[in-house]
Amino acid sequence: MTPFHSVSSIDLGSGRSRRVVPIATMASGFELALTIHVIQGQRPGPTVGVSAMVHGDELDGFLIARELQRTLDTASLKGSVWILGVANPLAMEGNSRNTPIDMLDMNRLFPGAPDGWLSEQQANAMAHEFIDRIEYLIDIHAGGTFPWVDYCYVVNDDGLSRAFLPALLYKPAAGYPGTTATYAEQRGVRCMVVEIGGGYREQDRHVAAGVRGVLNQLRYAGALDGEVERRAGQVLMHEMKVMRPRHGGICLPRRMLAPGEVLPAATPLADIVNPYTLDVLETMVTPYEQNIVVLCRNYATRIHPGDYGFMIGNAATATICPD
């Protein structure tokens, strides 16, 4: 097992460096590691971490992280920004939500274990060599290969979540054990989770919105000068249902939807069709009296039983954030 004290740092000049955190040697001989880009400002300030691709099929977060790394100006930055663009390298390579070696969801395993499953070893490296070393965490996710999503979680700093400028926010009654955010919160790190994009659609728009949001969060955290932008009318959801089909097959959406759209009760969302008999095995419908679309599928896609089909918020229990 490679100890974390063998972390190497490569000075790239102009206030930029790259930290390489070894995890393990693979059976192929490949050296698995995390690569963290550190952008150091010229004035004192907070340490802000931006992470992406804990789930390897969520490419939009990487694109946002890359654009931030490319464009952040060290002259205007206070403190430092740590960017982990690919938190799960093997899942990224396999275009998979889970780590292909052990098929575990790394974002349910934090803080991991140095001698556990490979996903736990990766989580352990990220926990101790990334999250433990920052004061703010912005963890970026997306809808994945097929679904499209657009909202932010509120964890322990409402202002940080609102500063990303989403139309939709979600504050669950309890956090999800083993996630980056739950671990960060336990460590006293101010944190939030972004869900943006997916489905290989409108990536340029999502990247532009993501970069704008993170820059606004950096102003909120005091890492950049300037007034923090606010978005009026942000909706805070307290109840949301993940809709998973009981049967697999071909998911045929009834019509195009968009996050933030409000639908009435019992609105058909998609038919799940047997690819061989062509029969409709089930029809997915909205679960509440008034429904906020959070995650949707807008194209015919393969779907497994239990996959993310749609995510729907309960409009009756949602509130408008004060301006």
Query: Where residue 308 sits, what CATH number does that domain have?
Result: 2.40.50.100
| pLDDT over 50 (residue 2) | no
Regarding whether 283 and 158 lie in a shared domain, the answer is no
Q: Is the dihedral of CA 39, 40, 43, 47 positive or negative?
A: positive
Regarding whether 211 and 246 lie in a shared domain, the answer is no
pLDDT band per the 50, 70, 90 thresholds, residue 286: very high
Give the closest residue to 194 by CA, choosing from 64, 25, 8, 87: 64
Regarding whether 179 and 30 lie in a shared domain, the answer is yes
Cα(114)–Cα(6) distance, integer angstroms? 14
Q: Is the dihedral of CA 320, 61, 8, 119 positive or negative?
A: positive
Give the range of the structural domain holding residue 246, as residue numbers without chain letter: 239-320
- pLDDT number for residue 201: 87
Percent of the chain with pLDDT over 90: 94
Residues 30-40, mean pLDDT to the nearest whole number: 97
- pLDDT number for residue 6: 87
Cα(257)–Cα(27) distance, integer angstroms? 44
- pLDDT number for residue 64: 98
Q: What is the pTM of this model?
A: 0.96
Tokens representing 9 are 């740092």
Residues 40-44, mean pLDDT to the nearest whole number: 96
Q: How many domains is the chain partitioned into structurally? A: 2
| pLDDT over 80 (residue 3) | no
Residues 258-287, mean pLDDT to the nearest whole number: 98
pLDDT digits (tens, 9 = 90+) for 116-150: 999 999 999 999 999 999 999 999 999 999 999 99
Residue 75 within any structural domain of the chain: yes
- pLDDT number for residue 174: 86
pLDDT digits (tens, 9 = 90+) for 184-241: 999 999 999 999 999 998 999 999 999 999 999 999 999 999 999 999 999 999 999 9
| pLDDT over 60 (residue 274) | yes
- pLDDT number for residue 323: 86
Residue 232 within any structural domain of the chain: no
- pLDDT number for residue 308: 96
Mean pLDDT, all residues of the chain: 96
Regarding whether 142 and 268 lie in a shared domain, the answer is no
- pLDDT number for residue 1: 43
Regarding whether 40 and 115 lie in a shared domain, the answer is yes
- pLDDT number for residue 4: 55
> What does the DSSP 8-state code read for residue 174?
S
Percent of the chain with pLDDT over 70: 98
Cα(171)–Cα(152) distance, integer angstroms? 9
Regarding whether 114 and 73 lie in a shared domain, the answer is yes
pLDDT digits (tens, 9 = 90+) for 79-117: 999 999 999 999 999 999 999 999 999 999 999 999 999
Cα(243)–Cα(233) distance, integer angstroms? 26
Residue 52 within any structural domain of the chain: yes
pLDDT digits (tens, 9 = 90+) for 62-74: 999 999 999 999 9
Residue 244 within any structural domain of the chain: yes
- pLDDT number for residue 5: 53
Residue 229 within any structural domain of the chain: no
Residue 307 within any structural domain of the chain: yes
Regarding whether 243 and 95 lie in a shared domain, the answer is no
Query: Where residue 112 sits, what CATH number does that domain have?
Result: 3.40.630.10
Regarding whether 212 and 112 lie in a shared domain, the answer is yes
